Structure 1
Amino acid sequence: MTRTRLLAALVMAPLAIAAILLLPTPWMMALAAVLFLAGLWEWFDLAEIEDTLARTVLLVANLALMVAIVWASRASNGYTMVLFQLAVVAGVVWWLLALIWLGRYEFASDHATHARVFKLAAGALSVIPAWCALAWIHVAEPNGHRWLLTALAIVWAADSGAYFAGRKLGGRIFGGRKLAPRISPNKTFEGLAGGVVAGVVVGIVFALIAGAAPAQLPAVALVALAAVLFSVVGDLFESLLKRHAGVKDSGHLIPGHGGLLDRLDGVLAALPVFALGKAVLGF
């Protein structure tokens, strides 16, 4: 599994990096919309929306909201990012609420009730703010494309750091304590620590490449830490959905990685936090 996982990553990573660095922002937004909406399609499956027509209507509704945000952001001198920024703030608030949801495992687990409504709302609140955050970061001057790569590299490094630290050190430092045993039994505090260290270190290195001044690195490290922790929340929330649905992966699109949503869950939570933190702390 590790070999397959690495080979898939070696194929995907160069393509993702090339798209981030070379595509103009409108094309990057369009590509991200396709990927995020594909992940949302898998989310509908976890919410047990089985009717294809219903899922298509829901997907089109989310696409329409993205288009509406772009259309309403037109200004006489180009575009304003106000609606994108408001969506990012809404996304950060949502992921704080998701953290509370994680502590109440049974909430919305019975699909005989209104569970689907909550999970569909959660899908929109996860995908659209993350897409808006991606656009806000990428379009910013100077070096917005490099800052977007920094944000994503933090999540990728944290995911890899957690995976390998968990495999090598799991149970050896924190006495076998699990991070969230009912939601994701394989996640350990050793893995969390490895992910935090990897994410923050990579964030600092990539921030220097993006043009951050040495005096800004403490702020970068703080935002990178927050992004890593929120990416864990995103990962755990998807695991919660999978537990409720009784499945191991959101799909089988990517060898060794599962579905597309399995690769996007941490990104969806981390991007709004990184974008907001970058704006507030001014780097």
Structure 2
Amino acid sequence: MAPVAIGAVLLLPTSWLMLPSAVVFLLALWEWLRLAEVEDTLARSILLACNLALMVALVWGSRSQHAGALPLFQVAVVLGVAWWLLSLLWLRHYDFAARHDGNARMFKLAAGTAAIVPAWCALALIHASQPSGHRWLLLALLLVWAADTGAYFTGRRFGGQWFGGRRLAPRISPNKTWEGVVGGVVLAMLVAVLGALVIGAHAAQLPGIALVAAITVLFAVAGDLFESLLKRHAGLKDSGTLIPGHGGVLDRMDSVLAALPVFALGKIWLGF
């Protein structure tokens, strides 16, 4: 699927990219609703339609002569980053909303909208930015992929050696290590600097870009852990079965959902 995603990011204009990306993000939300234990198909369809209506409203409300402005998208991105900061508290308190009741379901439904819609808005904002927005979006995705690779190999080689055997989140994801996080952050920062130079960033911008990359990866880890938390609460191994042999769409996108709003906000704030 990677060549298709890369081709779409590099070749499609933003308005056209937003359409297939909305489909993918809504498929991930469909699986999120399953993890929130909304079993009734009609109820899930109505909730999905409500989120689609919110996306359409954001597009409608952001119309302006400047195609890349998207003011409501910027607001959504800020709210998305705020949500992921709040999610850190949820991750710390594992049992919050763990019961199989209506209150827990409402929290998880709200979390789904707060994760999916801002990430989609961030994708559009990054891609629409000038110049070379399509390349910056590809770099944002590469950071997540590089972080996964660096975390895997560093965790396998050095797991349990640098931090006294402490695991990252043993109750949520026992195999994740702090050593893996360090390896993922380092490789992502290297990819960010090299990628920014290829795109055309100035040398003075590189420290800021590396910092944004590091923070982006840390939030990506939080996104991965949060989906693992939802799956443990629901007693499920995979979010879905839409990708044969690889679980669901949400399993492939959990890190991206948290990473995109952070990268977009950092890009806007630092102006690269």
- Whether 1:135 aligns to 2:124 is yes
Q: Specify the alignment match of 1:153 in structure 2.
A: 142
- Whether 1:84 aligns to 2:84 is no
Worse-matched range after superposition: 113-122 or 245-254: 245-254
- Whether 1:56 aligns to 2:14 is no
**Conserved 8 A contact 1:73-1:79:** no
Distance in 2 between residues matched to 1:205 and 1:160, nearest whole Å: 17
**Conserved 8 A contact 1:219-1:281:** yes
1:99-110 equivalence runs, <5 A: 99-110=88-99
Q: Structure 1 residues 200, 255: closer, same or farther in 2, change over 3 A?
A: farther
Q: Specify the alignment match of 1:199 in structure 2.
A: 188
AA partner of residue 154 (structure 1)? L
Distance in 1 between residues matched to 2:87 and 2:158, nearest whole Å: 28
Q: Specify the alignment match of 2:84 in structure 1.
A: 95
Distance in 2 between residues matched to 1:80 and 1:140, nearest whole Å: 8
- Whether 1:176 aligns to 2:172 is no
Q: Structure 1 residues 56, 95: closer, same or farther in 2, change over 3 A?
A: same
**Conserved 8 A contact 2:68-2:128:** no
- Whether 1:233 aligns to 2:222 is yes
Shift of 1:81: 1.3
Shift of 1:249: 1.4
1:1-283 equivalence runs, <5 A: 12-76=1-65, 78=67, 80-283=69-272
Q: Secondary structure at the match of 1:179?
A: strand
**Conserved 8 A contact 1:165-1:194:** yes
Cα deviation, 1:81-113, whole Å, max 9, x if unaligned, reads: 110000000000000000111111111000224
The list of structure 1 runs, each at least 4 consecutive aligned residues, that deviate by more than 6 angstroms after superposition, is none
Q: Secondary structure at the match of 1:190?
A: helix
Distance in 1 between residues matched to 2:190 and 2:68, nearest whole Å: 34
Cα deviation, 1:14-35, whole Å, max 9, x if unaligned, reads: 1111110001101111111011
Shift of 1:242: 0.6
Distance in 2 between residues matched to 1:178 and 1:75, nearest whole Å: 48
Shift of 1:206: 1.4
Shift of 1:252: 2.8
Worse-matched range after superposition: 103-112 or 249-258: 249-258
AA partner of residue 118 (structure 1)? F
Q: Secondary structure at the match of 2:99?
A: coil
AA partner of residue 254 (structure 1)? I
Shift of 1:211: 1.7
Distance in 1 between residues matched to 2:271 and 2:66, nearest whole Å: 24
Cα deviation, 1:153-203, whole Å, max 9, x if unaligned, reads: 101110121122222222233232100001111101111111111111111
Task: For structure 1, list consecutive stretches of 5 or more residues without a partner in the other structure.
Answer: 1-11
Distance in 2 between residues matched to 1:182 and 1:69, nearest whole Å: 37
AA partner of residue 24 (structure 2)? L
Q: Secondary structure at the match of 1:185?
A: strand
TM superposition score normalised by structure 1 = 0.93
Cα deviation, 1:207-265, whole Å, max 9, x if unaligned, reads: 12222111110000000001000000101110110110011111233355321101111
Q: Structure 1 residues 78, 235: closer, same or farther in 2, change over 3 A?
A: closer
AA partner of residue 278 (structure 1)? K
Aligned alpha-carbon RMSD (Å) = 1.3
Identity %: 67
Shift of 1:76: 4.5
